[in-house]
């Protein structure tokens, strides 16, 4: 089995954290911490075959314990924002943790990104895998019901696959995703504005000044939010645009056009190195975030110093704030139902 582990420190309450390394025959490696299920390191080749780490993060657990960016971590119960931190299910209202002004973000301050998951290594036909599991109790961050969650990382020959599953004993809301920040250049600390991004989506969710969806879908054609044909991230990021002003750059949820099941969500190429990344998913949307709020001068891995737009996020997920909008796809999980979603990060060279 091409999988090893080592201690990665302890949390404030003394809980030990492990760091697992998955490796494949192509020379790629992925380091995954049990704290937050964080993807700490992921290597991929450039057009010369040279490997480099392509995700932002920290060398030690302390970095993650003090992190404000959610670098590389698993997000839940509900990714993104819930307006007013107010969840209504079957006519009953639940008050969620307010950790983003008056709103709820990424499952709350004590969400899945800040918990220690149980880890079990697994050998599969596709490659080495790590099964992470977590039990979220009734009332956790305000959510109803006990929720059992599984996240399986599998390192295949051409990339990393992430399979989510969950089951609940009461109706609750579930919308899981992962939050890695990618920089494909192999030069950590540089910005990602030269990366060329393609998102095959004609529409995105219209949001207000707090980035809470209004319930309307906006056509992206003719706007700085249009990535249908492939555009450098920095080409239009400073244009005069209300959506860009609200997000301080890109922080928008795109509605994917296509069939159910696995489908392309986005692809990105770093022209100098030739590294490319294709993101596929079973989810109906993808959030594109251009790393606008990474603190300037933030110490990162290997002596790198991060700043705004040092990395980009492509977060497949369900519709944002879905319980508040009847027209959006439902994210309610009921007893007896199985939640299953997949994200595939597939690398290529160009």
What sign has the CA pseudo-torsion 173, 82, 341, 25? negative
Q: Indicate the pLDDT class of residue 259, thresholds 50, 70 and 90.
A: confident
- Taking the C-alpha atoms of residue 99 and residue 101, their distance in angstroms, rounded to an integer, is 6
pLDDT tens for 117-160 read 999 999 999 999 999 999 999 999 999 999 999 999 999 999 99
pLDDT value for 243: 96
**What's the Cα-to-Cα distance from 49 to each of 46, 134, 347, 348, rounded to whole Å?**
5, 37, 12, 11
> How many residues are present in the chain?
350
Mean pLDDT of 227-255: 97
The neighbour count for residue 344, using CB atoms within 10 Å, is 21
Is 325 catalytic? The answer is no
Phi, psi of 48 (to 5 degrees): -95, 0
Rounded CA separation 146/149 (Å): 10
Q: Quick one: pLDDT at residue 258?
A: 74
Choosing from 106, 113, 179, 195, the catalytic residue is 179
Q: Give me the residue label for tokens 């008050």.
A: 95
DSSP state of 14: -
Cα four-point dihedral sign 111, 115, 118, 119:
positive
Q: What is the pTM of this model?
A: 0.97
Q: Read off the tokens for 94.
A: 């639940």
Average pLDDT over residues 111-121: 98
Q: Is the pLDDT of residue 90 over 60?
A: yes
Q: CA 134, 138, 143: angle at the middle one, nearest 5?
A: 95
Q: What is the pLDDT of residue 277?
A: 98
The pLDDT, as a whole number, for residue 260 is: 84
Average pLDDT, the chain: 97
Residue % of the chain over a pLDDT of 90: 98
Q: Are 52 and 301 in contact (CB under 8 A)?
A: no
315 catalytic? Reply is yes
* Gap between the Cα atoms of 206 and 225, Å rounded: 11
**Tokens 């201690």 — which residue?**
7
Residue 1's pLDDT band (boundaries 50, 70, 90)?
Answer: low
Average pLDDT rounded to a whole number, residues 93-107: 97
Bridging pattern class, strands 203-207 and 172-173: unpaired
Taking the C-alpha atoms of residue 18 and residue 326, their distance in angstroms, rounded to an integer, is 42
Nearest to 5 by CA among 26, 20, 22, 25: 20
What pLDDT, in 10s, does the model give residues 208-222?
999 999 999 999 999
Domains of the chain plus CATH, in order, are 3-349 (2.70.98.10)
Strands 86-89 and 275-281: unpaired
């Amino acid at each position: 089995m091409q999988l090893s582990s080592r201690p990665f420190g302890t949390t404030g309450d003394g809980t030990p954290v492990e760091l697992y390394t998955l490796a494949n025959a192509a020379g790629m490696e992925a380091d995954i911490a049990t704290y937050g299920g964080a993807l700490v390191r992921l290597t991929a080749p450039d057009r010369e075959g040279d490997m480099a780490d392509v995700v932002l993060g920290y060398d030690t657990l302390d970095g993650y314990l003090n992190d404000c960016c959610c670098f590389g971590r698993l997000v839940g119960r509900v990714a993104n924002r819930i307006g007013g931190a107010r969840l209504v299910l079957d006519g009953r209202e639940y008050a969620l943790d307010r950790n983003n002004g008056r709103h709820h973000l990424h499952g709350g301050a004590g969400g899945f990104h800040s918990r220690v998951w149980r880890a079990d290594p697994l050998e599969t036909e596709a490659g080495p895998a790590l099964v992470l599991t977590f039990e979220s109790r009734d009332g956790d961050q305000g959510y109803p019901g006990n929720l059992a969650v599984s996240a399986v990382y599998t390192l295949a020959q051409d990339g990393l696959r992430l399979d989510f599953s969950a089951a609940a004993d009461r109706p609750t809301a579930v919308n899981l995703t992962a939050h890695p920040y990618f920089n494909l250049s192999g030069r950590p600390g540089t910005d990602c504005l030269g990366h060329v991004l393609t998102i095959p989506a004609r529409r995105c969710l219209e949001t207000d000044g707090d980035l809470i969806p209004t319930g309307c879908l906006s056509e992206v054609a003719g706007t700085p939010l249009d990535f249908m044909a492939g555009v450098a991230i920095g080409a239009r990021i400073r244009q005069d645009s209300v959506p860009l002003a609200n997000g301080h750059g890109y922080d928008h949820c795109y509605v994917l056009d296509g069939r159910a099941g696995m489908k392309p969500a986005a692809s990105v190429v770093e022209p100098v190195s030739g590294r490319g990344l294709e993101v596929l998913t079973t989810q109906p949307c993808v959030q594109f975030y251009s790393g606008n709020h990474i603190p300037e001068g933030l110490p990162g891995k290997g002596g790198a110093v991060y700043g705004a737009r040092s990395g980009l996020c492509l977060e497949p997920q369900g519709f944002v704030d879905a319980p508040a909008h009847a027209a959006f796809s439902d994210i309610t999980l009921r007893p007896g139902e199985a939640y299953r979603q997949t994200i595939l990060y597939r690398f290529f060279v160009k």
